Chains A and B, each alone.
Chain A
């Protein structure tokens, strides 16, 4: 029995009930029960947002119907940044609370975060081509998204390169914390750089004037993306728990 489990036992006796769920063994079934609900919410919110975006929001007089990409691009960009912060917070929690689950959650979130970053970049390029004429626009947000993708890939690569899972978790946590502190600095630098080197590039952040329906469409899709991320991360963390704890009695009993 690891030290953290002994600690958790004492602490939960002392009343920190939520720490009980920080033990993978306790978290595993709860996560399993929650996944379907988040999945359903994901579908509902996303469809609702897309309905608003495609069937209610009017055509933009400047960009035509090409602007409808924002209902994917903006939520993807929001999620990419949000998930990175959450990943870093799990890393910090792992340091402070010394829980095994924290590192597993960070590992579980990373691929989904990277996916949203990629989608933000891809949809940004497809938006830029018809509106500004080039596949890639070196505007502040897209460039920062690109660097964020590198941060995600670096995190995943670092974890993959360290054999011992506990060590990998802790190293990843340090990297994520360093990264999350740097993200605002990077964004600020790139923004400054962009205003200087304007040239022919126009900012993608100059979205069409936000009709309320457009905003609601983006918000709903973003909510849907969030629910999706939770569902997928919980699914993945259960797989990680299964892989790491397969030797333990409780996992064997579950037949994992």
Chain B
């Protein structure tokens, strides 16, 4: 099963590499959204610093959401998803592989890019570190939960907006504690508890989300 998973990761990464534009688009969206807020609210430094954690986190959420559309849809459209489902390896391996590949091409770049945006909001170094740490723990959860939504809305009418509607409420805990960690670091409070909780969410999602995604895929492709 492990080798099947790695096989899927490799496949999806290769596919993503061929369409670098898709990956880049998500990152550009991230930067644009984060840059819009000051234009809307004014660039007063204290205000920016206070809203920085929340803004960067929400922008990351939305960017992750955008990228979920291509998690299963492309393979579903050309029939390769069905092939993967009836292949010898368990569906869970496919789901795990695709989710990991999704994170590698979305969550990880977002996490690495985030400090630059944090600097735009004049976040001090400890807050930047907390930003990276919280995103590193949180973005995999976004991929895991997002996969459930992507599978549920496969082939549905208006899938993109519906996906957002389904998945954003479920993202709330990650947002609260992710941005909360950065906010705490910003004012010099310890944020270990936030990160631990994010880690707990990650563990919880790793255990339960793939099951739900498999169930949803089987329903969609029955």
Once the chains bind, are B165 and A150 in contact (CB under 8 Å)?
yes
Once the chains bind, are A174 and B180 in contact (CB under 8 Å)?
no
The answer to whether residues A174 and B215 also contact, given A161-B153, A189-B176, A192-B176 and a CB cut-off of 8 A, is yes
Interface 9-residue window, one of A2-10, A111-119, A175-183, A200-208 = A175-183
Chain B at the A interface: SS class: helix
Interface 9-residue window, one of B101-109, B119-127, B156-164 = B156-164
Bound CA span A162–B222, Å: 13
Once the chains bind, are B219 and A190 in contact (CB under 8 Å)?
no
Bound CA span A174–B208, Å: 12
Once the chains bind, are A181 and B208 in contact (CB under 8 Å)?
yes
B220 at the A/B interface (Cβ < 8 Å)? yes
Once the chains bind, are A182 and B170 in contact (CB under 8 Å)?
yes
Once the chains bind, are B148 and A178 in contact (CB under 8 Å)?
yes
- Whole-angstrom distance from the CB of B150 to the nearest CB of chain A? 12
Once the chains bind, are B222 and A158 in contact (CB under 8 Å)?
no
Once the chains bind, are B212 and A177 in contact (CB under 8 Å)?
yes
Q: How large is the interface on B (under 10, 10 to 19, 20 to 34, 35 or more residues)?
A: 20 to 34
Once the chains bind, are B166 and A171 in contact (CB under 8 Å)?
no
- Inside 8 A of B148's CB, which chain A residues have their CB? 174, 178
Once the chains bind, are B162 and A186 in contact (CB under 8 Å)?
no
Residue-wise interface mask of B (88-116) relative to A, using a CB-CB cutoff of 8 A (1 in contact, 0 not): 00000000000000000000000000000
Given contacts A150-B168, A174-B212, A178-B170, 16 further A-B contacts (CB under 8 A): A150-B165, A158-B153, A161-B153, A161-B157, A162-B156, A167-B219, A170-B219, A182-B173, A186-B169, A186-B170, A188-B173, A189-B173, A192-B176, A192-B177, A193-B176, A196-B180
Q: Which 7 A-B pairs have the closest CB atoms?
A: A189-B173, A161-B156, A189-B176, A150-B169, A154-B166, A170-B219, A193-B176
